[in-house]
Amino acid sequence: MKLICEYPPGNLRNVTTAANVSAVASAIKNMPGVGRPFLIFQSLPGQVVLVDFGRYPDYIVSSDVAQNAALIQQMLDASPIDALTFAE
């Protein structure tokens, strides 16, 4: 899967994650960190150069792993790809 987030804040990252939702739901507490916005995708067509996290204000890393897993599943079911701008 692909995780789009800022780490450290202000530095956009195109992150490759494990395929295991539970593992990622726990790992995002460390990166980008609790309280930080994030978006998850099954795959992406290119390199993301810009992201509008404001379109999906609910997608914030929680300290609750189950809550993170539920958010990830929502994004896998309904991709928030309209928040992304890709490199040309």
Partner 1 sequence: MTRQIDHSWLEGIGGEDALIGAIAAFSQALVDHAGTVDVPAPTAHPLVEDIVRNHGGQYEIVNAPVPGPDPDPEPEPQDPLERPLELAQIASARLAISGWDVIGLERSPGMSLAFVADVDTVWVFFDEPQSDTEYIVTPSDGVTKYTDYIEVSKPGLSAVSLIVQRVL
67 binds partner 1 (CB under 8 A): no
Q: Does 30 bind partner 1 (CB under 8 A)?
A: yes
17 binds partner 1 (CB under 8 A): yes
Which tokens go with 72?
A: 């990830």
Length of the chain: 88
Q: Are 60 and 37 in contact (CB under 8 A)?
A: yes
Residue 59 near residue 39 (C-beta atoms within 8 A): yes
Min dist CB 14 to partner 1, Å, is: 6
User: Under the rule (CB under 8 A), what is the footprint of partner 1?
Assistant: 3, 13-18, 20, 23-24, 26-28, 30-31, 47
